[in-house]
Amino acid sequence: MKTTTGAPVGDPAVGAPGAGPSPRRRLGLSEGALQTLLLFGFLVLVAAYFTSRDPDFLTSRNAVNILVNASVIGIVSLGQLFALVSGGFDLSVGGIVPLGGVGFALLVNADYGVLPAVVLVLAAGGVWGVVNGLLIAKARINPLIATLGTLSVTGGLALTLADGVQVPFVDVADGVLTRRQLFDVNNHVWIFLGLAVVVFLVLRYTSYGRQLYAVGGNKQAARLAGIRVDGVTVIVYVVSGALAALAGAVLASQLLTGSGTAGTNSGLQSITAVILGGAALSGGVGGVPGTVIGVLILGALANGMAILSVPSFYQTMATGAVLLVAVGISQFRSSRRAAS
């Protein structure tokens, strides 16, 4: 049986009985905070390494480049964080992102306006989230199978809506979601950072956030404690679906084109980022600071390797290696928690 945790980020401090206070306890840090610090340290190390090899890496312009690329997957990862904390995961984002992108392009081309188009795309993503949530919570289908199914359906729907071709924006002014405005930084970067703050507050300071960690930590215990587990689960996938659809709209704005194939890898990428950020596949653990740093580490690795002219094959291998290390660490931590 898994241990129940109600802590928003990581477990309560644990230590071997009789071993005296750990260095972490002496510093007054929770395990989650310490892990976030270590992750941040790793990000600094990555940045230091690439800067030592090429000073062009550490410029404000390149920092924006990293954020520009990372923000799309960052938005998806914030939704994926909900799913992983709940003890599931959401593969369907790989279909909802392109569906959101194509839908957004079609809507703005039909003169709906950017804001109504965003709202409609969010709603569509939310509807697919409801489908996922009901399949998982009510039909008791494993999240892997349920979201794999909706991944295929939504991915196929995106290609169908686009008729298999690209859907370019008729008016490039509709690309406002990614235009550079405030401080010469692209709008979607601010959207990502703003959403990160909102999700942080929701997970940290609302009863829904506490219920989510409880459900992810131990569903049975959460149910016995009076938490409406099914409702919490459905909301998880609604959030994930809506954010994936928003990421699709952002991606379409970035490319000034809706594409049925853009963003299809976002499922694996977002899971990698969230796991790297400290979430556990077993649920109940994970947080926004770690996820944001996880996204930035992946973005910095891709950017740095491109600047150092590392061939793309090796870049793919490096990303896979990072995922394996992150999952390995996650498993190690889960085993340690179970043992304690």
Binding site for other proteins (CB under 8 A): 54, 56-57, 59, 61-62, 65, 68-69, 159, 163-166, 168, 178, 180, 186, 251, 254-257, 259, 261-263, 302-303, 306-307, 309-313
Q: What is the DSSP letter of 13?
A: P
- Whole-number Å distance between alpha carbons of 294 and 276: 5
Query: Which residue, 239 or 298, is less far from other proteins as judged by CB?
Result: 298
Closest CA to 288 of 44, 33, 63: 33
The helices-and-strands tally (H runs, E runs) of the chain is 13, 2
Query: Which residue, 69 or 80, is less far from other proteins as judged by CB?
Result: 69
Q: What is residue 258's three-state secondary structure? A: strand
User: Minimum CB separation from other proteins for residue 45, in Å?
Assistant: 19
Query: Which residue, 30 or 166, is less far from other proteins as judged by CB?
Result: 166
User: Minimum CB separation from other proteins for residue 254, in Å?
Assistant: 7
Query: Which residue, 62 or 334, is less far from other proteins as judged by CB?
Result: 62
User: Minimum CB separation from other proteins for residue 290, in Å?
Assistant: 23
* ∠ Cα 269 274 277 (to 5°): 125
User: Minimum CB separation from other proteins for residue 318, in Å?
Assistant: 13
Residue 72 identity (one-letter amino acid)? V
User: Minimum CB separation from other proteins for residue 312, in Å?
Assistant: 4
- Cα 117 to Cα 58, 78, 192, 198, 249: the distances in Å are 37, 21, 18, 22, 9
User: Minimum CB separation from other proteins for residue 74, in Å?
Assistant: 13
Query: Which residue, 62 or 150, is less far from other proteins as judged by CB?
Result: 62
- Whole-number Å distance between alpha carbons of 198 and 97: 21
Query: Which residue, 68 or 274, is less far from other proteins as judged by CB?
Result: 68
CB atoms within 10 A of CB 246: 28
